[in-house]
Amino acid sequence: MKIGKLPEPMLIRSVLREVGHRREEILAGPAVGRDCAVMEPREGEVYVFSSDPITGTTKDMGKHSVYITANDLAAAGAEPVGIMLTILLPPKTEERELKEIMRGVESTCRELNMEIMGGHTEITDVVKQPLLSLTGVGRMKKEQMMEPGGIKPGQDIVITKWIGLEGTSIAAKEKEKLLLERFAPLFVDTAKGFDQYLSVLPEAKIAVACGVSSMHDITEGGVFGALWEMASGSDVGLDIDLKKIPIRQETVEVCEVLGLNPYILMSSGSMMIAAQDGHGLVRELHQAGIFAAVVGKATAGKERILRNGEETRYLDKPQSDELYKIYQKD
């Protein structure tokens, strides 16, 4: 495709025709010649915004991009409403690839009751592979706003589902051929299918209803990065039992073969929550069919302790996500 804005016929057939309207508060969405979206506010509510570039995967990136942005909004206690979507494509991109991205974005928006509100699409030699950047918009009642730094010493730290879900799914797709040399096809397909768990909206809704203090979706940098960020944001310490952190066996084995540390692996789909009664929250989540576990507590002071049986060590500062290693080895 030629450098510059998409030709209007391509914009219409491969972008705009893929977009559905389903949110009544969005009064004006994407259209030829329209550069802005319009939303109608509701009394007593505030808007919440979050932005994310998607660079960690080239496969199913449309789907991943919406989940990650919606999860950020849900972690703030907001209901995701829509996204502003920017797509930058290298000249070598074929139109079918653009349409595939749009279908992934739109199908996930439909699943989450969100809407593509607008955005920009361009062909440019500045990028070497497709680059998506999303700004998500959510809404919530003003009195339900979660203040940064809301964690208090003594509160339980809860983790939902299993760490490493996103990274395992991406790694299994990117390195499928290599993994099939070691594992049965069913095993690899199961690992690839972990992207079915990427949304944290269900557990966020339950957590908000339970009056939790803070939520953090575990994304780039994995569970170790999320623990550090949560503690730093509230100026508290941590006492975490590594053996209680939930992880699937598929993640353990995929990481072993690829030489990755699962505790520093992208973990969208898993939520970290601080709650006064973590065990009560876990019961509520289990009743809704969502696995969760109390993995430790927030503490007074600065020490961020990781326990593994008799061994005790301190949490390191966030590191580069392990997933990037699979691309460096190519």
Say which CATH topology domain 4-144 has. Answer: 60s Ribosomal Protein L30; Chain: A; (3.30.1330)
DSSP of 91-148: TT--HHHHHHHHHHHHHHHHHTT-EEEEEEEEE-TT-SS-EEEEEEEEEEEGGGPPPT
Enumerate the domain spans of the chain. 4-144, 156-328
pLDDT of residue 183: 97
Q: Which of 77, 138, 136 lies closest to 274, judged by CA?
A: 77
Measured CA to CA, the distance from residue 309 to residue 242 in angstroms comes to 8
Unique residue bearing structure tokens 């952190």: 245
Q: Which two tokens stand for residue 177?
A: 């051929």
Residue type (1 letter), 75: A
CATH code of 156-328, in short, is: 3.90.650.10
Q: Where are the beta strands (DSSP E) in 203-244?
A: 214-217, 237-241
Written as tens digits, the pLDDT of the chain (330 aa) is 889 989 999 999 999 999 999 999 999 999 998 989 999 988 999 999 999 888 766 778 999 999 999 999 999 999 999 999 999 999 999 999 999 999 999 999 999 999 999 999 999 999 999 999 999 999 999 888 887 678 999 999 999 999 999 999 999 999 999 999 999 999 999 999 999 999 999 999 999 999 999 999 999 999 999 999 999 999 999 999 999 999 999 999 999 999 999 999 999 999 999 999 999 999 999 999 999 999 999 999 889 999 999 999 999 999 999 999 998 855
Mode of pairing for the β-strands spanning 311-314 and 237-241: unpaired
